[in-house]
Amino acid sequence: MKNTVREIAEVFRYFEEICEIPHGSENMDAIADYCLRFAQENGLRALIDGAKNVVIYKSGTAGYENAEPIIIQGHLDMVCQKREDIAFDFEKDGIKTYKDGDFIKAEGTTLGADNGIAVAMIMAVLASRNIPHPPIEAVFTTDEEIGMVGAKKLDFSVFKAKKMINLDSEEADVLTVSCAGGSDFKLFVPTDKRVVHGTKVLLEIDGLKGGHSGVDINKYRINANMLAARILNKAKKITDFNLIKINGGTKDNAIPFSCRAELAVDNAEKFISIMNDYISDLKNEISDREEACLINLTAGTEDDFEVLTPSDRDKLIYLLLTTPNGVVDMSAQIEGLVETSLNLGVLKTKPDGIVMRYALRSNKASALTFLEDRMTAFAEYNGCGSQISCRYEPWEFKKDSPLRELYSKAFCEKFGREIKVSAIHAGLECAVFAAEIEGLDCISVGPDMFDVHTVNERLSVSSATEIFELLCDILKKCK
């Protein structure tokens, strides 16, 4: 679109300015102030709330004054990761970007194109006098990366729109129309201890692929916590040991790639010799899926150790062997979509018991409720405590979506091919908005980004340009 050449340049200028401002999750003050200054400089009305969410309003352009308003939305925070060999303070330092062919990259850190490029695109639309559009309610939410915290605290009475474009997707050829809802489930296993004399043996599992508990759950990657349980169960059958502690995983929503268990045994050399044969067979069994898996047993010091009672050790192993985990159900509406799943992401030994933390997901609200009920029953029957927190509703697929049809048609006209209409088994803020705004017609789109949330994150310049042009085209057609 020739009339957007200046605006395209502005997109990347705004993105560079955003990169210069520290804006990791829970560090929102400076980036929120930047948004407010932008609104003031462009003569636009803006609101900010206690969670630092910013809403900016712009009237419809000539001929669009009475058109239905539309929400355009992105989030302000980024995931902060860096290489260990660089000195960088995400609280103070700006992201250092550079161009590599068609890509914008960062020097040793995450780039924050998720979701800084969305904020930049929206600002370019708001600042422009050349792009025809209906009344816009631009929403910049905070702390999306740590549980959609900002979106959940929004006052939705400030919106009049019944249509919304979310710009938090990462594949230009994909139009997202549904996402999973979710909750965090904590299961607490109370334990008693006793003191035994023996030699410590360390069981270490590492090198598994792990992954995102939504995006990667259907790839059937090995869960390190459950693999550890399998090894301990075998050890219980063929030899004798006591369990000092076991810890695996760091986040509910990440498939754990490592786990460590400390054991106390009478004869460490004999124990390791017996178990190494089984471990060899186990590694061979899973090598086609987990070729980099490492499982090691290492003897430590001889001493007195506080360990779980035999009955509590056996109960924990039973729970880990029988717990629901992974894909529960596939969608009958959208081919290939995981509809319901859960992930045992964290296993942690506490002084008074063992904590097992799960991420529960479903693209249907009723199925999510049933999964919570199922896990609660599992906990209660086994004499364990449980807690459900951080719940958010799914964004369910709508059979009738004029905005979806409009975007699909515009994409085909621009690129000469059909867009892939898809759903994701992960969370998007669309779910929060759809739950609060009755009858909301919502889509999620975005440019090509790769390796987000890692130090290899990169943004395609050409794709960002094309998606911005398409966004402008959609706004022009919302008359």
Catalytic annotation, residues: 77, 144
Q: Could you tell me if residue 389 is left (phi over 0), alpha (psi between -120 and 50 degrees) or otherwise beta? A: beta
The SS3 of residue 453 is: coil
Q: Which amino acid is at 129?
A: R
Q: Closest by alpha carbon to 338, among 163, 440, 211, 466?
A: 211
HSE (side-chain half, CA atoms, 13 Å) at 448: 10
Between the alpha carbon of residue 337 and those of residues 85, 86, 114, 176, 400, the distances in Å are 39, 39, 23, 12, 19
Q: Which amino acid is at 237?
A: K
Q: Closest by alpha carbon to 51, among 177, 142, 180, 138?
A: 142
**Cβ–Cβ < 8 Å for 119, 14:** yes
In which element (H, E) is residue 165 found? Answer: strand 163-166
Neighbour tally for 29: CB within 10 Å = 12
Residue 283, both tokens: 């590694």
- Positive or negative: CA dihedral 205, 206, 207, 210: positive
Rounded to whole angstroms, how far apart are CA atoms 210 and 216?
8
- Positive or negative: CA dihedral 165, 390, 332, 329: positive
**Cβ–Cβ < 8 Å for 111, 457:** yes
**Cβ–Cβ < 8 Å for 69, 161:** yes
The SS3 of residue 18 is: helix
Q: Closest by alpha carbon to 216, among 34, 348, 38, 359?
A: 359
Residue 41, both tokens: 């400089």
Strand blocks (E) in 266-309: 294-308
Q: Closest by alpha carbon to 194, among 304, 309, 302, 303?
A: 309
